[in-house]
Structure 1
Amino acid sequence: MGSSHQTVIVTFNQPGASFGQDAVAALEDRLVGAIEAAQAGEFDGNLIDCGEVRLFAFGPDASDLFAAMEPHLRAFPARPAHATLRIGNTEQRVEL
């Protein structure tokens, strides 16, 4: 990853993993569309493990990237959840 890229990492925790992979895939499709429409960066995939889902995206401005993603993330029912915006060596946590 080049120094010009900033990152958004979204973490959903739900004991028992009551959300399914189909729901996560549908969310990812919505995120890809929103990120592309905003020309804010790229969706980079997920990590699903033991009731935790992490979604990764990167672009030139983490704030713009998160703004494109936020409505879809807030609509996803799995909680607790948060987004981490990585800008250089700093991180900003946003509760969802």
Structure 2
Amino acid sequence: MADPDAAGNDFQHAVIAHYRLADSGLGEPSQRQVVRRSQHLLAEAIEQADVGEFDGNEYGGGEVVLYAYGAAADALFAVMAPLLDDLPFRPAHVVLRHGSVDDPLAPEHRIDL
């Protein structure tokens, strides 16, 4: 995964989406295929709206986590929300981090999907 601060201060906020998968490992192949398609749509939507960048995913422990970074977590989430809602895996939640990953006091807000 890329360093969210590498692009400078413009990309310190984050939207981190967590989805529970079918098993305790990496999920089923069909689930990973759905995630791959959604990632392409998310990256395209974020780029077109010019609100940040989609950074990828992390699988393990029966879940997938999707990462995106931008200058404003709320604006980034507004673009991502319809696509995140479309993913069928539940339970799921999103964490909006308003500040740098290096700032332990950066406020975070959890939204259940």
Common fold by TM > 0.5: yes
1:63 aligns with 2:74: yes
Alpha-carbon distance between aligned partners in 2 of 1:43 and 1:85, rounded to the nearest angstrom: 14
Gaps of 5+ in 1: none
If the length of structure 2 is used for normalisation, what is the TM-score?
A: 0.79
CA distance in 2, matches of 1:76, 1:84: 16
Note if 1:41 corresponds to 2:52: yes
Which structure shows the higher strand fraction?
Answer: 1
1:25 to 36, 40, 46: 36
Q: Does 1:10 align with 2:14?
A: no
Contact 2:21 2:31 in 1 (8 A): no
Of all paired residues, the percent bearing the same amino acid is: 41
- Find the partner of 2:109 among 84, 92, 95: 92
Unaligned runs of 5+ in 2: 100-105
Shift of 1:70: 0.3
Q: CA deviation at 1:14?
A: 2.6
* 1:48-88: CA deviation from partner (whole Å, max 9, x where unpaired): 11320000000000000001100000011000101100002
SS at match of 2:40: helix
Give the drift of 1:32.
0.5
